[in-house]
Chains A and B, each alone.
Chain A
Amino acid sequence: DIQMTQSPSSLSASVGDRVTITCRASQGIRNDLGWFQQKPGKAPKRLIYAASSLQSGVPSRFSGSGSGTEFTLTISSLQPEDFATYYCLQHNSFPWTFGQGTKVEIK
């Protein structure tokens, strides 16, 4: 099984800050990775697909990069509505696996 190691597990940031979240795969997964945002009591929402493509309707302050084993989600200027938990998901091979999540909190 492919392990996804996501870091940090939580972070505190202020509105306007640049935030970076990383996922590392235990083996190469090409660009078969998505990033999801989840708010309390809600279903996850996809932000990024194919590691770096922005989902339609998602603000351009969100971006993704990486390929192979190292992936990054960046929020260029954190907004109040961005405080949430973020997950990466690899869909290169079954079983699909998620990162452990990163909770972004208000500083």
Chain B
Amino acid sequence: QVQLVESGGGVVQPGRSLRLSCVASGFTFSSHGMHWVRQAPGKGLEWVAVIWYDGSNKYYADSVKGRFTISRDNSNDTLYLQMDSLRAEDTAVYYCARETPRGVDYWGQGTLVTVSS
């Protein structure tokens, strides 16, 4: 069955960096675009970034553009989110999600990032 497992969250000071990972299993990872979506505590869902199945295209939300970088390693079925220059407003649970031609279907369980001094 499809599984997505995020890791790498934690507490980090403002201005510092963190890298999230999402390990995929149960499907052909290299055939699917992948997304990151986040949710601040008590708030709604916010789309963050997407990467094409082969890594050839990437798009970002304006709120993270220039600070976050999405990437993937298809040989290891792993998606990444490099987060630099972190701000308090980046505090959220970060989910990875699998893309299909009809949007996203499966989501991971999320990993919490807390930006605080």
Contact = CB atoms under 8 A, between A and B. Distances in A.
B104 interface: yes
Contacts, number: 55
Interface in A54-101: 55, 87, 89, 91, 94-101
Contacts of A87: 44-45
Where chain B touches its partner, the secondary structure class is: strand
B53 interface: no
Contacts of A42: 109
Contacts of B103: 32-34, 46, 49, 89, 91
Contacts of A89: 45, 47, 103-104
Among A33, A43, A44, A87, the most chain B Cβ lie within 10 Å of the Cβ of A43
Interface of A: 32-34, 36, 38, 42-46, 49-50, 53, 55, 87, 89, 91, 94-101
Interface of B: 35, 44-47, 50, 59-62, 95, 100, 102-105, 107-110
Nearest 6 interchain pairs by C-beta? A43-B107, A96-B47, A94-B59, A91-B103, A49-B102, A34-B103
